[in-house]
Amino acid sequence: MIAAAVRTEGPRRRALRPYALLYIYRRRLRVNGAQEMLAGVGVAVAVALVLAATVAEGSIAGSTRQVVRAVVGQASLQLRSPGNGTFDERLLTRVEGIPGVKQAAPLLEQTATVLAPDGRRVSVDLAGTDVSLAVLDGLAHTLPLDALTPGGIGLSSASARQLGLTGSRPGTRVRLLLRGRSTPLRVSAVLGSEAAGAVSNALVAVMPLERLQRLAGLPGRVTRILVQSTPARQAAVRHDLEALAAGRLTVTPAEQDVTLLQQALRPSGLASQLFAAIGALLGFLLAFNAMLLTVPERRQAIADLRLAGTRRSAIVQIVAFQAVCLGVAASAVGLAVGYALSVWVFHQPTGYLAEAFTLSSATVVGRGPLLLAGLGGVAATCLASAVPLLDLRAGRARDAVYREAGVPGNALDTRAQRVLFAAALAVLAAASGVFVLAPSAAILAGAMLAFATLLAVPLVFASVLHVARSLAERRQSLTSLPVALASLQSTTLRSLALAATGALALFGSVALGGSRQDLLRGIRSFASSYVADAPIWVSNPGDNQAAQEFSPDSRTAAIARLPGIAAVSVFQGGFLTLGDRRVWVIARPPGASRHVLESQVTAGSAAVAAARLAAGGWIAVSEQIAAEHHTAIGG
């Protein structure tokens, strides 16, 4: 009936009508629906893994970009300190006097902790601003007036959720822990998306600029001045701002934080790309293996159509239509599952970056990841579905499928196995070369090793079968082994696909698990040396990097008078912008760098470095910074 349905299209018609293609596929689904569903599951798994990994990778920078744009509004430039320090607010008047400056607004940013009445706490980026920022269409543009009233603090909805204050009435009392001081405040507003846009998903709080200056002990100080210039004079404005900065401050694009964050996320992004690549290969192998289950039936259907006189072009249309339908349906399911995974399972924890950047917890799904995952799923389905079309080769008998012994279309000869294994060795050698010559490209080397694993499976699998056959011939007591061998040998390609799937899954598990253990080992080693100078530390709540300042004068003397205290020293950290990176600067007291240097120095002497650091005028830098700035010891 299928052949008849196709032949009614007429001898001159090259393209089958859509209703004919749909009719044929509906008949196939009624008979072989389970096989199609298995193939669709494999494709959906691949699409879901690729989408989840790419979305999780891009959401941090994408959502943070939305937060930055919501804050800076129409500002294109900013004047700031390289180390996020403060400078005199009176500089705002001189900035406003530069020709071409349409509007300028001050901003003071501090990291603080908000403590709820029930003891819950959250670290927030606290911004002090005034109504001048509204002119830039920035943070204050849609804020309720209560958010900037004296004596209050406005919390984003994300901050309020963590404090358990989402349903609380305005006026709820909280405590603000800032620079070593505790201040009671009332919640003046909870800022949802309707009031603060993307800022509502970030852990932030706002208050009047003057009030924050007073609480932080920074009267007349700001951390940034946002500048909106006329388009025609933007270059001239930047030049005048740089002259005004006089090397003490920096002039950068208003969205510089996004660029710095993308640089900080590069290692995580590369790992996510490797995970996505392994997931895509696994999904394709699942889909290919499921499609191989349908190959005998599809080949027989193609042979019947050819024997009935159906043109090759019509058969190709039928196979392509069915592949596209399956790919689109499976990809749609995979996209839905991938989105759920990216939100609830693969959502990347970003607490380790929170002190250096204002981050958002929102999930951003861009057009690029959707197209990559969706079109990739359709392409994989079409590729896996093309195996039966090999019977359409010129010179191939129409009924060749009925002349073959065993399960047709599932053989891979010895020559092909050897060629693939030779290619695996070549890829392995190339991956080793990449790792030795460019250790920073370890992710690329890992991807090459995964591909080499896939290529090596056929010959290794055949060797295992050969050994098993020899064992079965010598040990007649192993009665189940010959049965298993017969089953494997009669479905060579399917067995290879299953073996390759297991090998790649095992490789991914070992590679990613080993990377995780190496990372944890490195963090544990550094953390041990980082805190080795003293058993007790006094810092702001949650400030692991010691980046939040407070005045140590009175506290140092009071702590030193406590019984059992041998010595008290002052420690300070901070984040500075150096080139295209935001770097963590650690300022330890003299002689207190010995433990860190002993465990971290890769070039030079730890003893000499400790002496030079104590003397002053020297710094120790990471390998990445030294390489980027083309410097070495003594440079």
Find out whether 121 and 115 touch, Cβ atoms under 8 Å.
Answer: yes
Residue 6, pLDDT above cutoff 80: no
Instruction: Look at residues 75, 93, 448, 390 and name the one whose alpha carbon lies nearest to residue 238.
Output: 75
How confident is the model over 381-410, as pLDDT tens digits? 888 788 788 778 777 777 777 766 545 445
Tell me what pLDDT residue 1 has. 40
Q: Quote helix, strand, coil % in the chain, to nearest 5.
A: 60, 15, 30
Mean pLDDT within 134-149: 55
Tokens of 174: 């909280």
Element (H, E) at 226: strand 224-229
**Matching residue, tokens 């070495």:** 632
How confident is the model over 443-474, as pLDDT tens digits? 778 778 888 887 888 888 778 777 777 776 77
Tell me what pLDDT residue 462 has. 79
Sequence-distant (6+) residues with CB within 8 A of 553 are: none
The percentage of the chain sitting over the pLDDT mark of 90, rounded to a whole number, equals: 11
Find out whether 205 and 69 touch, Cβ atoms under 8 Å.
Answer: no
Instruction: Look at residues 202, 201, 254 and name the one whose alpha carbon lies nearest to residue 224.
Output: 254
Tokens of 465: 């079968």
Instruction: Look at residues 36, 19, 18 and name the one whose alpha carbon lies nearest to residue 28.
Output: 36
Tell me what pLDDT residue 10 has. 45
What 3-state class would DSSP assign to 259? helix
Tell me what pLDDT residue 3 has. 45
How confident is the model over 262-273, as pLDDT tens digits? 777 777 777 777
- The per-residue pLDDT of the chain, averaged, comes to 80
Residue 454 CA: distances (Å) to CA of 371, 460, 504? 26, 11, 7
How confident is the model over 194-247, as pLDDT tens digits? 666 677 788 888 888 889 999 998 999 999 898 988 888 889 999 999 999 988
pLDDT band at 134 (very low <50, low <70, confident <90, very high): low
For the chain, the straight-line distance linking the first and the last C-alpha, in angstroms and rounded, comes to: 82
Tell me what pLDDT residue 139 has. 47
Mean pLDDT within 45-59: 79
Tell me what pLDDT residue 138 has. 52
d(CA 274, CA 272): 5
How confident is the model over 271-309, as pLDDT tens digits? 777 777 776 777 666 666 666 667 777 778 888 888 888
Residue 114 CA: distances (Å) to CA of 120, 122, 163, 357? 8, 6, 8, 18
H/E/C letters for each residue in 111-177?
Answer: EEEEECCCCCEEEEEEEEECCHHHHCCCHHHCCCHHHHCCCEEEEEHHHHHHHCCCCCCCCCEEEEE
Residue 190, pLDDT above cutoff 90: no
Tokens of 346: 């693969």
Sign, CA dihedral 624-628-633-635, equals negative
Q: What is the largest CA-CA distance in the chain?
A: 103
Tokens of 56: 């999780």
Which residue pairs, CB below 8 angstroms and at least 24 apart, start in 413-416? 414/462, 416/458
Instruction: Look at residues 388, 206, 180 and name the one whose alpha carbon lies nearest to residue 304.
Output: 388
